[in-house]
Amino acid sequence: MATVSRRDFLNKGAKIVAAGSAGLLAACGTEKTGEAPAVHTRKTFRWKMVTTWQPHFPVMGEGADRAAKWIEEMSEGRLKIDVYGGGELVPALQAFDAVTQGVAQMSHGASYYWAGKIPAAQFFSAVPFGMNAQQMNAWLYFGGGLKLWEEIYADFQLIPMPGGNTGVQMGGWFNKEIRSVDDLKGLKMRIPGLGGKVIAKAGGSAILSAGGEIFTNLERGVIDATEWIGPYHDYLMGFHKIAKYYYYPGWHEPGTVLEFAVNKRAFEELPKDLQEIVRTAAYRSNVMMLSEFEAKNNVYLQKLRETGKVALKRFPEEVLNAFRRYSQEVIDELVEGDPLSRKVYESFSKFRKEVGGWAEISEKVYYNLIGGME
């Protein structure tokens, strides 16, 4: 990473202050320029947004609704977006294709759902034993991750934008206790992405299904276990009514990035100010969704405990060590067979190593320090 001298840092700060002052003077009418004032066309646009979530689904679906509302408000009605939950316009897991084909101009989901089309896309959602939410944001916005993401979506005529994060997830709900790696053999688990391949290596079966199907599948025995997100969502989904064992940590999804994907042609047809409004709404959604999960997860963890029906358990060390080993095997096999995945993973792993050095003496130490405080 490039180094910055103290003098350069201070000079840069001075230039920013000067630029800000100039902007303020211009805004006050004390500075004249030869440029004509910006003129915004009053042309209006109407988009469709499809999501992988049920209509108005807590946090994610509601977040997509809010983003559409913000865009309409910031654009003063020049860009209106109709939001469709999974199954309303297209099936939940066909949102990617719908935006690529122009059936809709925008989608909200998670990139690991498209692993069958773009294996490298999985690195932009969740990597087992990977980075947490703030580290993923740091990599995407300031470590080159977003440029790589845009590169791999370009062939599909899509522009990706981070649009939320779940934070560290739970390990999932199980209908039987997991005492050893042997208990994973034959297990049918709803789990997407790279985590699903890890379960397969452990002797289980990974099943991908949309959120709206999980409860019924678990209740009917189509699956033996499921991961979803964390206590807030899991409580609302009602998993505690049909599964007893609730495991942690969420080794498979330590900071899952959600995405907005925008049809490139539709985006380029927008005036520049509307393009920036769309990007701004995505930034805002990224912060809001993570914040909502963080605010509510502990509240609902207590609610789950109060039911008296939930056995909250930590995965045994033997199982976590196996997950860690299988995770690296899965990643090694992926990057060996896919040059694009190798390129993305090189960037991801390099940044993880660099940011991890800081985390060792900052967050990790701090969390240990405050662990015993009330």
**What's the CATH number where 121 sits?**
3.40.190.170
Mean pLDDT of the chain: 90
Domain interval for residue 274: 45-166+255-294
Is 106 part of a structural domain of the chain? yes
pLDDT digits (tens, 9 = 90+) for 320-332: 999 999 999 999 9
Q: Report the alpha-carbon distance of residue 248 to residue 38 in Å, rounded.
A: 53
Q: Report the alpha-carbon distance of residue 133 to residue 145 in Å, rounded.
A: 14
Cβ of 243: how many Cβ atoms within 10 Å?
Answer: 23
Please report the pLDDT score of residue 371 as a whole number. Answer: 74
Q: Report the alpha-carbon distance of residue 231 to residue 293 in Å, rounded.
A: 9
pLDDT surpasses 80 at 109: yes
User: pLDDT tier at 263 (50, 70, 90 boundaries)?
Assistant: very high
Please report the pLDDT score of residue 353 as a whole number. Answer: 95
Q: Report the alpha-carbon distance of residue 206 to residue 219 in Å, rounded.
A: 17
Please report the pLDDT score of residue 5 as a whole number. Answer: 54
pLDDT digits (tens, 9 = 90+) for 78-101: 999 999 999 999 999 999 999 999
- When comparing pLDDT for 35 and 267, which is higher? 267
Is 72 part of a structural domain of the chain? yes
Is 227 part of a structural domain of the chain? no
Is 70 part of a structural domain of the chain? yes
pLDDT digits (tens, 9 = 90+) for 18-77: 444 444 334 444 344 444 444 556 899 999 999 999 999 999 999 999 999 999 999 999
Mean pLDDT for 311-317 is 98
CA 235 centroid distance within chain: 20
Is 210 part of a structural domain of the chain? no
Number of domains composing the chain: 1
pLDDT digits (tens, 9 = 90+) for 115-159: 999 999 999 999 999 999 999 999 999 999 999 999 999 999 999
Percent of the chain whose pLDDT exceeds 90: 83
Is 196 part of a structural domain of the chain? no
Is 109 part of a structural domain of the chain? yes
Is 75 part of a structural domain of the chain? yes
